[in-house]
């Protein structure tokens, strides 16, 4: 057996933890997953730069979404401590243009990020008169970005951090494929390449539970956090706009002659203001909500309850659209060709009669924001908050604080996998190789245990923690010239159901070639002091 000194072990694993192991095979920079149909999932350098500026200005971003992005979390801490003329200008502008609602603040800056071109100039991609009103309210911020980008060395930082987006992007791809398949099948539409229209899902974990959807002409974009399952409904809603908006616009005269229904809907206190004077947009939204209800395949009583709720909120055309969609489902033409018949089936007189004495829901419920503009966060437990804090301390390289935090969790929950994993990483960084190995081995042993955890719940361990523990153990054995044992660990990582793609790639690389630590990378660029 080849001996490995504690110092060498810590040094090599420092590099692994912060620039190799957490990214693994993601060292190659991400490329936009563009295909001939213009439907993609990707990260955006413009959104990244904008969020970095907001970080530096003190915007209360959702750090809890960065558990698997330690370098991005560490960067946020660096930006908050930055000093410099460009950073000062960004902070002053942010303070002078603050909005009371954080969701409104984020929405405006994300919209701006979607209207600017690449670094280093970040020029607007359209004429000023075509910019959305919420961008015009903060348009001077665009002029501050180039200097801040240079001062914060965001070109270097983006190159290093971009691979951390890969796992989240990978989670969204099957979600988007499923949505496209289901929606296109229902509408009986076929994807057509080279139409000039695009639908892009931009992944930016710091937006947290909020989603931001915008369209600029033929380009549709939705910005989401890193929880693909929670965002699926919002992406489907946005994609339905991508598919249905052109039809509503194409047949606008046929739609518009039914605008008398808007005066009926306008009596509803809960109807959003954006629809009160735009009947085409109102009809569009009602049709999309109707399609969503049909895609859910609700039983009759639940469908009726959903229709009553739509009526009560002012979306009175959802019910007649559902009736027309039931007819559409029995015919053969695609929605492109059936749409005129669907609109013709809306009987304005019958709807006015139906709703003549209808009691709309009172305004007290108007604060309940539409599910597609905001999704409420589930409260986290004290243990989860401690675990998140420990992850942040690891990202800041505060090993002693992280160890104390994770040990506090283990005092009450001795087999908590995230705490064990955090202590394993902290042990690596502090040079305690044997202790690190012990924690990694305990994690993989717990995975094979059928007993409940210390909280009395059925044992479930994040497959990312399990797979990375196997990878780390494999690399430890490779460093000690125990190739057979290392191969067993790498293969165990590959066998973990739900393992992140980066962990699988790292394990596959370990199977093909014995691990050799990379040279320690140069230090990250320091903020200007």
Q: Where does the pLDDT of residue 468 fall: very low under 50, low under 70, confident under 90, or very high at 90 and above?
A: confident
User: 71, 18 in Cβ contact below 8 A?
Assistant: yes
Six-digit token pair at 506? 């790292």
Cβ atoms of 308 and 329 within 8 Å: the answer is no
- What pLDDT sits at residue 397? 73
* Structure confidence at residue 35 as a pLDDT band (50, 70, 90): low
Report d(CA 71, CA 418) in Å as an integer: 18
pLDDT at residue number 502: 66
Examine the pLDDT at 313 and tell me if it is beyond 90.
yes
Closest listed residue to residue 372, CA positions, set 268, 230, 507: 230
Q: From CA 13, how far away is CA 435, in angstroms rounded?
A: 14
Cβ proximity of 211 and 375 under 8 Å: yes
Instruction: List the domain boundaries for the chain.
Output: 6-17+382-512, 31-207, 251-367
Query: Alpha-carbon distance 438 to 458, whole Å?
Result: 23
* Angle (nearest 5°) at CA 349 between 348 and 353: 115
Q: Find out whether 224 and 252 touch, Cβ atoms under 8 Å.
A: no
| Integer CA distances (angstroms), 505 to 72, 491, 510, 518, in order | 21, 11, 9, 16
Mean pLDDT, rounded, for 453-474: 72
Instruction: Let me know: does 208 contact 377? Beta carbons within 8 Å.
Output: yes
* pLDDT (tens digit per residue) in 253-262: 889 899 999 9
Distance CA 439, CA 107 (A): 42
pLDDT at position 364 is: 61
- Encoding tokens for residue 278? 């735009």
Euclidean distance between the first and final Cα of the chain, in Å?
Answer: 48
For the chain, how big is the Rg over CA atoms in Å?
Answer: 26
Q: For 399-429, how does the pLDDT look when each residue is reduced to its tens digit (9 = 90+)?
A: 888 889 899 988 888 888 888 988 998 888 8
Q: Is 216 helix (H, G, I), strand (E, B) or coil?
A: strand
How far apart, in whole angstroms, are the C-alpha atoms of residue 107 and residue 113? 10
Check pLDDT > 90 for residue 304.
yes
pLDDT band at residue 138 using 50, 70 and 90 as cut-offs = very high
Q: Are strands 212-216 and 198-203 parallel, antiparallel or unpaired?
A: unpaired
Alpha-carbon span 66 to 395, nearest angstrom: 10
pLDDT recorded at residue 519? 59
Confidence band of 500 (pLDDT split at 50, 70, 90): low
CA–CA distance, 429 with 433 (Å, rounded to integer): 9
Between residues 140 and 524, which one has the greater pLDDT?
140
Q: Is 193 a residue whose pLDDT tops 80?
A: no
Residue of 317, 311, 345 whose CA lies nearest to 330? 345
DSSP three-state, residue 161: helix
Q: How confident is the model at residue 15 (pLDDT cuts 50, 70, 90)?
A: very low
Of 100-109, 251-260, 385-394, give the lowest mean pLDDT range.
Answer: 385-394
φ and ψ at 374, to 5 degrees?
A: -155, 140
Model pLDDT, residue 14: 38
d(CA 339, CA 304): 24
User: In what order do the strands lie in the sheet containing 219-224?
Assistant: 39-42, 198-203, 219-224, 212-216
pLDDT in tens, 195-235: 678 999 999 988 877 888 988 878 899 999 888 888 999 99
**90 — phi, psi (to 5°)?**
-65, -45
Pure H helices in 162-312: 166-187, 228-250, 252-256, 260-265, 279-295, 300-312
Compare 437 and 22 and report the one with higher pLDDT: 437
Q: Is the pLDDT of residue 6 over 70?
A: no
Architecture of domain 6-17+382-512: Alpha Horseshoe (1.25)
Pairwise pLDDT comparison (389 vs 83), residue with the higher score:
83
Coarse DSSP helix, strand, coil percentages of the chain, rounded to the nearest 5 percent: 60, 5, 35
Q: What is the mean pLDDT of residues 305-323?
A: 96
State how far the Cα of 498 lies from the Cα of 445, in Å rounded to an integer. 18
Task: Residue count of the chain, please give it.
Answer: 529
Neighbours of 138 (CB within 10 A): 17
Question: Mean of the pLDDT values across residues 326-330?
Answer: 95
User: How many alpha carbons fall within 13 Å on the CB side of residue 484?
Assistant: 1
Round to whole Å and give the CA distance between 56 and 52.
6
Q: Which H or E element spans position 47?
A: helix 45-57
pLDDT average, residue stretch 323-330 = 96
Structure tokens at 61: 């971003």
Once rounded to an integer, what is the mean pLDDT over residues 461-488?
88
Tens digits of residue pLDDT in 111-137: 999 999 999 999 998 888 778 888 888
Yes or no: say if 215 and 245 are a contact pair by the CB < 8 Å rule: yes
């Amino acid at each position: 057996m080849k001996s490995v000194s504690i110092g060498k072990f810590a040094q090599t694993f420092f590099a692994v933890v912060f620039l190799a192991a957490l990214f693994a095979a993601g060292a190659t920079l991400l490329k936009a997953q563009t295909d001939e149909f213009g439907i993609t999932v990707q990260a955006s350098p413009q959104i990244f730069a904008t969020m970095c500026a907001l970080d530096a200005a003190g915007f209360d971003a959702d750090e809890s979404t960065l558990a698997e992005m330690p370098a991005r979390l560490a960067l946020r801490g660096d930006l908050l401590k930055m000093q410099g003329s460009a950073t000062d200008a960004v902070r002053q502008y942010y303070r002078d243009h603050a909005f009371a609602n954080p969701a409104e603040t984020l929405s405006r800056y994300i919209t701006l990020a979607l209207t600017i071109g690449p670094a280093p100039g970040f020029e607007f991609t359209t004429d000023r008169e075509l910019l959305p009103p919420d961008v015009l309210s903060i348009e001077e911020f665009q002029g501050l970005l180039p200097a801040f980008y240079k001062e914060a060395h965001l070109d270097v930082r983006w190159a290093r951090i971009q691979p951390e987006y890969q796992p989240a992007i990978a989670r969204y791809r099957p979600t988007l494929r499923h949505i496209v398949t289901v929606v296109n099948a229902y509408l009986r539409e076929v994807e057509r390449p080279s139409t000039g229209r695009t639908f892009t899902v931009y992944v930016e974990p710091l937006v947290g539970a909020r989603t931001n959807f915008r369209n600029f002409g033929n380009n549709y974009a939705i910005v989401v956090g890193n929880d693909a399952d929670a965002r699926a409904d919002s992406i489907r809603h946005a994609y339905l706009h991508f598919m249905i908006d052109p039809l509503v616009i194409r047949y606008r005269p046929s739609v518009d002659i039914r605008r008398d229904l808007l005066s009926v809907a306008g009596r509803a206190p809960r109807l959003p203001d954006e629809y009160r004077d735009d009947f085409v947009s109102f009809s569009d939204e009602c049709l999309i909500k109707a399609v969503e209800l049909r895609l859910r395949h609700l039983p009759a009583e639940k469908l009726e309850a959903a229709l009553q709720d739509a009526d009560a909120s002012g979306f009175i055309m959802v019910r007649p659209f559902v009736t027309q969609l039931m007819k559409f489902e029995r015919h053969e033409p695609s929605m492109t060709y059936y749409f005129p018949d669907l609109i013709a089936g809306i009987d304005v007189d019958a709807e006015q009669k139906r709703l003549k004495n209808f009691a709309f829901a009172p305004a007290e419920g108007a604060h309940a924001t539409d599910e597609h503009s905001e999704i409420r966060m589930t409260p986290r437990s004290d243990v989860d908050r401690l675990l998140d804090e420990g992850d942040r301390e690891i990202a800041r390289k505060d090993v002693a604080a992280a160890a104390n935090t994770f040990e506090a969790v283990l005092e009450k929950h001795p087999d908590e996998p995230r705490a064990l994993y955090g202590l394993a990483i902290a042990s690596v960084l502090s040079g305690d190789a044997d202790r690190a190995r012990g924690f990694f081995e305990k994690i993989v042993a717990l995975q094979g245990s059928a007993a409940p955890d210390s909280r009395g719940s059925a044992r479930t361990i994040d497959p990312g923690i399990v797979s990375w523990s196997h990878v780390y153990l494999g690399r430890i054995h490779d460093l000690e010239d125990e190739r057979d044992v290392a191969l067993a660990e790498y293969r165990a990582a590959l066998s973990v159901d739900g393992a992140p793609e980066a962990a699988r790639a790292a394990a596959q690389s370990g199977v093909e070639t014995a691990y050799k630590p990379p040279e320690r990378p140069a230090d990250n660029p320091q903020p200007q002091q």
